[in-house]
Every structure is written in structure tokens, then in C-alpha cells.
Chains A and B, each alone.
Chain A
């Protein structure tokens, strides 16, 4: 299964709408102080739903290259 190498969050742009958290199928991200935060990077399957649906350009998922 694909894994994420890094999830970049641009906190300055995040408005805390929770769309990314609600669409995440594995619970890899959560809300912390009204902003999105990484809960467990290991859980991320790099499905890109959060990146695709973020209205604020605030979350970027970097896919891990196959070893």
C-alpha cells in the first residue's frame, strides 16, 4: 500500500473547516486548536482526498516513492 513520506500543512492558510479530516478514510489527520494537524503519519495511504478537497490550498501530501 502506498504511504506518505510527508504531509505539509500551511497553517497560515488553514481555516479549520474540517473537510480534510472528515474525508480522510484512515484517520491520519485530526483537528488541533481549530487547525488541521497530523495524528499518525503511518496511517496515511496517500489517497490524496484531503489535498484534493482542501478549499484553502493548505494541505499537501508527498507520496513515498516505491522502494
Chain B
């Protein structure tokens, strides 16, 4: 046994609802290891989620957890952090939950720079409702609502977060388990809004119809197409075509919202 997850799991809730081969379980394990390595008390962590496959995650872990309305995880998380600044608040959801239904909350949380952590589980599809295309479905990819291939351009979640003003933006994948754990840990420790996009796989909704024969082949696709940011610096745009960059993409220091708010209303001189 390399690591005992039992301490942080609500074992009565397992097995989880995710399909066979869904990578969310792998990311959940990375998340548990990341929080455990920070030695935080269970009562000091709050995980807030919206609606969707990814948003079922808080149900399986034994922290303060909140399952909210579609796309509103960040709104609830903001309230939670303002009411109890001592909490370490994590808002998480899928790509549809965060960038389509909750898109407005997402950009304004980035702009506000409140000290919360946002994880976006990007599996390129709305898995739970029957594989409709989401804002992150790649061009040409099959979905039930794009049977001839996706015609629209897709969102780049990290670019969106950087543009909106997040102070820590990183990307990792479900395949790179150790990198995922390290990135999550850094995001938790960063003061200000930190956004981590985690590339995931949906074998049932996306993979089956997009030429991925097995769940493992989707993980191997991540391995083959992810380029570390340090390596990408020495690569030409032609070499990077079709690949995606993982690592810390953006990190700056900006005044945190709670401090500026307290100073503005005169709570702190």
C-alpha cells in the first residue's frame, strides 16, 4: 500500500457513480494526497461543487462539502470564504459547469482575486446529460449535438482565466498523477484566485465515438500530447500544433480581495 485513502473517504458512498474508466477517480486520489501533504485539518477544508459528473466528487470525501446549483459553485464558495476567511475553499466543477453555465461567475471570480482555489475538470463533453458538446469540445469532434463534427471554436480555459485576471493559472492532466498532486498543492498555497485546468477523459461520452478504444488509450493520449512548459519554450509553433502545454502558465502577485475589501470599508487601517 503506497497510500491509505480511507481516512478521507466516505466509504459508505462507494462505489462512485462515475463510469468504468472515468479519470475523475484518479484525480480524486491526487486531490486527497495533495490535501494530506498540506497537513490541513479536515474541518478547515471546504469543497464546493455545482452540477455534473465532476461535481459529484465532494460526496465521496470527508471534508466540509457543498453540492450547489448548476454553475454556481464559485458564487457559493465566494460567500463561504467571505463569511469564514479561515476556511481553505475549493470550488470545482466540470468544463460545462465552469465555463458555460457558470462562465460569468468564473471570469468575475478571476477578476476579484479572492483567495479561493478553482479546479476545472475538462473532459471536453457534457457527460452526465448524454454527451452534448460543451464549450471545450475540440473542433471536428463528435458529440450527440454535433453528429457531423463540432463546428465551433473551443474555449481555452487557461487563457480565459489569465485574461480575466486570475493570479495563478496552471494546467495538468489525469495521466500525470504526481504533477497533478504537486500543481494542486501549489494552487492551494497560492494567495489569490488560483485556477487549475485538469485534462480528463470521458470514455463513455467522448472517447467511444472519437476513436479512443479503451479508457487507458485516453490516458496515453494525454501522455503523448502534453508538453511541459519548460520544454515548450524551446519548441516552434509547428512542433506544438495539436499539443497542449502543462505546468504553471501564469503566476503573479496582486492584492487579495479580502484585504482590499477590509481596507476599503475601514476594517483595517
- A residues bordering B, Cβ < 8 Å? 12-13, 15-19, 22-23, 48, 51-58, 60-63
Contacts and interface: CB of A to CB of B under 8 A. Distances in A.
Contact of B1 (A19, A58, A60): A60
A contact face: mostly helix, strand, loop, or mixed = loop
Contacts of A23: 216
Interface in B1-50: 1-2, 5, 9, 14-16, 18-26, 28-29
Interface size class of B (residues with CB under 8 A): 20 to 34
A19 B177 contact: no
B219 interface: yes
A55 B216 contact: no
A57 B1 CA distance: 12
Contacts of A48: 2
B215 interface: yes
A22 B175 CA distance: 13
A38 to B, nearest CB: 16
B2 A17 contact: no
B225 interface: no
Interface in B162-220: 177, 203, 214-216, 219
Nearest to A49: B177
For the residues of B in contact with A, the DSSP-based class is loop
B14 A53 contact: no
Nearest to B21: A17
Interface of B: 1-2, 5, 9, 14-16, 18-26, 28-29, 177, 203, 214-216, 219
A55 B24 contact: yes
Nearest to B22: A55
A17 B9 CA distance: 21
B25 A54 contact: yes
Given A18-B215, A19-B216, A23-B216, A55 B1 contact: no
Contact of B214 (A22, A55, A60): A22
B24 to A, nearest CB: 7
Given A16-B20, A57-B14, A57-B29, 15 more contacts: A13-B15, A15-B19, A17-B22, A17-B203, A17-B215, A18-B21, A18-B214, A18-B215, A19-B215, A22-B216, A23-B216, A53-B219, A55-B26, A56-B25, A57-B9
Contacts of A53: 26, 177, 219
Given A18-B216, A19-B219, A56 B1 contact: no
A57 to B, nearest CB: 6
Contacts of A63: 1
